[in-house]
Each structure stands twice: as structure tokens, then as C-alpha cells.
Amino acid sequence: MTTTRARQWIVTAKPNPTARLRFFCFPYAGGSALTFRRWPEFLPQSVEICAVQLPGRGSRMHEPPFSSISSLIPVLAQVLAQYRDMPMAFFGHSMGGIIAFELARYLRREHDRSVAHLFVSGSRAPQVQFDEPSTFDLPDPEFVEELRALNGTPQEVLEYPELLELMIPLLRADFALCETYQYYPERPLDCPITVLGGLRDRAMTREDLEAWREQTTASFSLRMLPGDHFFIRTAQPLLSQVLAQDLARLI
């Protein structure tokens, strides 16, 4: 039985009492559980989609968002302790990829619990150095220009000052979480890792994605899909096909 606190964090749009695997999905910066609301339509029926709703968005809009990985991961691990009755796999896009990876390592290190499969999307390998200047602490006009360049923030948000004013604190916190992240070496995971990238993603190279191979002793695959950094939205049919195939193998 999951607690009310766990249900705050985990949104299951289509509960599946016959599921044999839970698929926890972590959003990109500024994203929410809504990103994954239609995924039950495309993925195997024996999988239950569990979208992670981080504080500061959706029904949790009035809660302060986390701005560091190190403070978020132990809390997420406590939440997932409520879901021990079946195997689990993780998916994360961009910011969500690093959250999923560090949570998988934390669960192994602190709880002796393994993830069945890790899917990382639009996120460079954590050990790859990223020397770009930080953006989360830029003045508002420059910060908004960075959002425009990334092409991930809806145009209606960028064009309406009231909406933008509501979103900027969340986006700054999410960017801080990514840009202040520090990687510490551990032994590789023993679960398969599937990495997905956008062919027109200017934020990272194929080599940045290929480097995830070092993070597993199990199988590794890299799939490049049409689109920019947010191919997760524009290449949905192909993305769903890749996920469905790998999840079917797990089950």
C-alpha cells in the first residue's frame, strides 16, 4: 500500500494491477508528470507507467523545487521504498536522465536494490566534463534568451510575462540542479543502459552520449532519433517503439 506522500510524487495515469514491471519516468528541466500522460497507450500492457512529479510543478506548484541532486536523491529513494513489490526500470530525459542515474546508484549503494533497465534520453554521460558557464544565475533577460535557444519552453509561456514570472523560479532551480551537479566515480551499474539522442541536438555530441557505455557492465545501446534536444516530443512514435522493444525484453 502506497502512502499519501508517495502518491504526491508518483502519478500513475493508468493504474495497472496486472503489471509485471514499473517504469518510473523523470522529467526534463521545467517539465512535469504530464509529459508522460499518454505513454500507457504506447508501451506494453504489462508495464505500469509511474511519472515522477517533482515539487514546484503541477499539483505541487506551491512547494519549493529542489535545486541540487544531492538533496533530491535521498528523498526520492524514500518514496520508491513504497514500491518494492515488483521490478522497476527508469527513464529520464535531460535533467531527468541524471536524476535517474544517480537514484539508481543510490538505491544500489544504500538499499542494495537494483534497477532492471536504465533509459537515458538527451543527457550526456555524467563523467563527461561540461565547461560551459552557468545560466541559472543569469539576469532575467539573458536567462529567457537561453530558454528560447533551448526550444523547450512553450512559446505561450515565453510571450506572456505573467506565465514567465511563475515559471522562472522553477526553471532556475532545475537549471541549478543540473549545472551544479558533481559526478563522483563508482563501479558501473549492472543493469542494461539504453541511451537516446537527437540527431540535431546542438547541446551535446554523439561522443557525449556514447560515453554512457562506461557506466554499465551489462548491455549498452545508443539510438539517435530525428529532432533537436526535445525529440522526446517530436519523435514520439519512434521513441515509443524503442522503449516498447526494450521493455518487452525485460518482461
Q: Which residues are catalytic?
A: 94
What is d(CA 212, CA 191) in angstroms, rounded to the nearest whole number? 12
Q: Which residues contact 96 (CB under 8 A, 6 or more apart)?
A: 25, 26, 27, 28, 31, 52, 121, 123
Is residue 3 within 8 A of residue 78, CB to CB? The reply is: no
What is d(CA 67, CA 136) in angstroms, rounded to the nearest whole number? 10
- Backbone phi, psi, residue 245, to 5°: -65, -45
- The shares of helix, strand and coil residues in the chain, as percent rounded to the nearest 5, are 45, 15, 40
SS3 207: helix
Sheet holding 21-26, edge to edge: 10-11, 47-52, 21-26, 88-93, 118-121, 193-198, 220-225
CA 243, 75, 71, 33 dihedral sign is positive
- What's the angle, vertex CA 67, arms to CA 63 and CA 70, rounded to 5? 115
Q: Tell me, what DSSP letter sits at residue 229?
A: T
DSSP string, 182-200: -----PPBSS-EEEEEETT
